[in-house]
Amino acid sequence: ANMKLIFIFSALIGASLCLETFVGHQVLRIKTKNEEEVKQLQLLESLEHLELDFWINPSAPALPVDVRIPAVSVQSVKAFLESQGIEYSILIEDLQDVLDKEKQEMAESAQRQRSSSSFDFGAYHTLDEINNELDNLVSFHSFVEKIQIGESYEKRPMYVLKFSTGRSNRPAIWLDAGIHSREWVTQASALWIANKIASDYGTDPSITSLLDKMDLFLLPVANPDGFVYTHTSNRMWRKTRSKIPGSICVGVDPNRNWDAGFGGPGASNKPCSDSYHGPSANSEVEVKSVVDFIKNHGNFKAFLTLHSYSQLLMYPYGYKCTRPDDYAELESLGRAAANSIRSLYGTTFQVGTICKTIYQASGGSIDWSYDNGIKYSFAFELRDTGRYGFLLPANQIIPAAKETWLGLKKIMEHVRD
């Protein structure tokens, strides 16, 4: 489609220039010193066979004269001017070069227009559409990079967007969405958030100061196989799509598969269950890829994950019903974040530990991250509270993303400071 557009553009420009080529044409700026010289140029103007194209006609000595000269006449006109002692400079060495560059710029600009406005953040997208948009974001923002941290069970690449404005291995923030594939508002919100950060760096003081100090790593589709399955076969699919030896059932609950109280209460040992914890911790490649990436990086300060639905903002623990050591700080930060969320549309999020707020659940990601030294570990459950549940209408994506972003920002600012 791009090639077609470039072709149409060049055809249009070609048409407007009567399909002429301007290879070797030069544009000279002539500085006349007196009336005599002006008259000389007016004489030159009258020589039609030279096909001179005066962009600024000779009229008065004080005014410059700009003229386009066809390739064949360039030398003779210059010789004439020099013999008359008339001063000139070369404005454009080769007009065709300039025209070609302009044509390319116009095509790129048109493509940019189409690209940036063609992705509808207020709609649900397929995995391919999401991956294309990731590439789009990378191509238009120098500080955004796409990294592949691994492959899913069905060999789909796991792409993370890295937002970084500086030195290697700055303190970093992790944000993921879609670990449970049916929670569509989360992948959609992650895209909106990615675009928001990329677009507003440099203009929004908060985002700018955040990225000037820290790096952000965003995994918008943490469970690509499950996500594709929700599009092709079962909208309510939650787990991965891994084959389980000895069972006709497929898939492991990726948020029961982390090495934190693995196999404990709140996770099932039955492969057919939607909260099946899997044969062992990190058995799911989707989980292992993240674990390895974060361990290898070694400098993550926050681990944030998006789920839906229920409107909750939770911190560890899930695998046990006791409070984490940093309970006071996490509770207070959680409340501040929930207040930020509420400030936009009045949406209320309940704050608390996973165990107290939702249910005891072992093998969860933020328990793992917290127990591995990442203090600021939070899990969000986005809109709504059950009216539409997983099937949140698309017109709520952007409001959900916007309010969630305020909550995330609150946490990130605290981490930064």
Q: Which residues carry out catalysis?
A: 381
Residue 275 CB, nearest approach to another protein (Å):
5
96 binds another protein (CB under 8 A): no
Whether the Cβ atoms of residue 110 and residue 5 lie closer than 8 Å to each other:
yes
Determine the Cα–Cα distance for residues 413 and 417; give it in Å rounded to an integer. Answer: 6
Candidates 181, 187, 223, 230: give the one binding another protein (CB under 8 A): 230
Give the strand order in the sheet containing 144-151: 144-151, 157-163, 215-219, 172-177, 300-308, 376-382, 312-315, 350-353
Nearer to another protein, 312 or 412 (CB): 312
232 burial (CB, 10 Å; 0-12 / 13-18 / 19+) is: exposed
Candidates 388, 398, 413, 414: give the one binding another protein (CB under 8 A): 388
Nearer to another protein, 264 or 389 (CB): 389
What share of residues in the chain are helix, strand, coil (percent, to 5)?
A: 45, 20, 40
Nearer to another protein, 83 or 395 (CB): 395
For residue 371, give the 3-state DSSP assignment: helix
Residue 236 CB, nearest approach to another protein (Å):
4
Candidates 396, 401, 407, 415: give the one binding another protein (CB under 8 A): 396
> Could you give the count of Cα atoms lying within 13 Å of 246 in the half-sphere of its Cβ?
4
Residue 279 CB, nearest approach to another protein (Å):
18
Candidates 391, 399, 413, 414: give the one binding another protein (CB under 8 A): 391
Q: Which stretch binds another protein (CB under 8 A): 86-94, 136-144, 217-225, 385-393?
A: 385-393
Residue 320 CB, nearest approach to another protein (Å):
17
Contacting another protein within 121-150 (CB under 8 A): 123-124
Candidates 50, 74, 394, 406: give the one binding another protein (CB under 8 A): 394
Determine the Cα–Cα distance for residues 219 and 175; give it in Å rounded to an integer. Answer: 6
**Which run of H or E residues covers position 42?**
helix 35-46
253 binds another protein (CB under 8 A): yes
409 binds another protein (CB under 8 A): no
Residue count, binding to another protein (CB under 8 A): 28
Nearest to residue 297, comparing CAs of 173, 417, 161, 137? 173
32 burial (CB, 10 Å; 0-12 / 13-18 / 19+) is: buried
For residue 212, give the 3-state DSSP assignment: helix
Site string for another protein, 162-201 (x = CB under 8 A): ----------------------x-----------------
Determine the Cα–Cα distance for residues 282 and 299; give it in Å rounded to an integer. Answer: 21
Nearer to another protein, 300 or 309 (CB): 309
Determine the Cα–Cα distance for residues 265 and 283; give it in Å rounded to an integer. Answer: 18
Whether the Cβ atoms of residue 56 and residue 64 lie closer than 8 Å to each other:
yes
Can you give the length of the chain in residues? 417
Contacting another protein within 344-383 (CB under 8 A): 358-359
398 binds another protein (CB under 8 A): no
Residue 3 CB, nearest approach to another protein (Å):
32
243 binds another protein (CB under 8 A): no
Site string for another protein, 262-301 (x = CB under 8 A): ------x---xxxx--------------------------
Q: Torsions phi, psi of 184, nearest 5?
A: -60, -30
310 binds another protein (CB under 8 A): yes
Q: Where do contacts with another protein occur on this chain (CB under 8 A)? A: 123-124, 184, 230-231, 235-236, 238, 249, 253, 268, 272-275, 310, 358-359, 386-394, 396
